[in-house]
Amino acid sequence: MEFERRRDTVTVRITGELDHCSAQPIRRELDGLISDPGVKKLVMDLKDMAFMDSSGIGVILGRYRTLALRGGKVAVKNMNPQVKKVFLLSGMDQVIQIM
Amino acid sequence: MKIINEMKLEFLGVPENEGFARVAVSAFAVQLDPTLDVLADIKTAVSEAVTNAIVHGYADASGGTVTVAAALQDDGVLSLEIIDKGKGIADIDRAMQPFFTTQPEKERSGMGFSVMQTFMDKVTVESKPGKGTTVRMQKRLREG
């Protein structure tokens, strides 16, 4: 997982597949990246994410809840059609910005 | 309708096999030359059903077996059965409601059955508490 921090924004590139099996290590890594209270925005670049099922919904919404508590937000970009279909089905676009 | 090919997989109900199951079913289904979008739908639905079997069926981490049976029909339809012998579902209608989950503390989204219903043409669930769950799904891969 590659990441970059600029001021209060962390941009992270998640690669591979996000399912129930991979959710826990990805969740742990993301939580580490946003543990600094100064982080207000998490941008997930999903260009290299080949697959996501509903386990990914839990991971993304969980990080959203953490950041929302400090007035922050989450955004996603570069979703492939399969990932976008799962994303939209869950209604996440109501609270997560698509860049 | 006639079955032109079928296969059956049996594997330990552990998370490491979720990816294996969806890739295996996808490789089997490709014989009917579906589009990439249709294959992605199948992989997603299989992932949800197998994950449910592992996460809910074997919630006590007993690691029972999950069976995935697939059949290709001469009318261009793929039929799937995902079977576990785990704890079963007491209230199927409730379990199939969007966002219903028994494990919110684990950030389970409760969208598994909704994804299956959206990505496949037909989904039915048979379950008995203490006996396990069978999820049956169908998807048309091409016109028969």
Chain segment B79-123, per-residue pLDDT in tens: 999 999 999 998 888 888 887 787 777 777 788 999 999 999 999
What CATH number is associated with residue A34?
Answer: 3.30.750.24
Contacts of A61 in chain B (CB under 8 A): 107, 109
B63 touches chain A (CB under 8 A): no
How many domains does the structure of chain A reveal?
A: 1
B38 touches chain A (CB under 8 A): no
Query: What percentage of chain B reaches a pLDDT higher than 70?
Result: 99
A77 touches chain B (CB under 8 A): no
How many domains does the structure of chain B reveal?
A: 1
Tokens of B14: 């552990």
Looking at residue B97, its pLDDT comes to: 85
Whether A62 sits inside 8 A of B107 (CB atoms) is: yes
What CATH number is associated with residue B23?
Answer: 3.30.565.10
Which of the pair, B24 or B109, is modelled with greater confidence? B24
- Nearest CB partner across the interface for B114, out of A21, A58, A89: A89
Q: Does an H or E element contain B51, and which?
A: helix B36-52
Mean pLDDT split into 10-residue runs, chain A, 99 residues: 94 96 95 96 97 95 95 96 94 93
> Would the pTM count as exceeding 0.90?
yes
Compute the average pLDDT of residues B9-23.
96
Q: Are strands A49-52 and A16-18 parallel, antiparallel or unpaired?
A: parallel
Domain that holds residue A18: 2-98
Contacts of A62 in chain B (CB under 8 A): 107
At residue B6, what are phi and psi to the nearest 5 degrees? -150, 160
User: What ipTM does the predicted assembly reach?
Assistant: 0.91
Looking at residue A34, its pLDDT comes to: 97
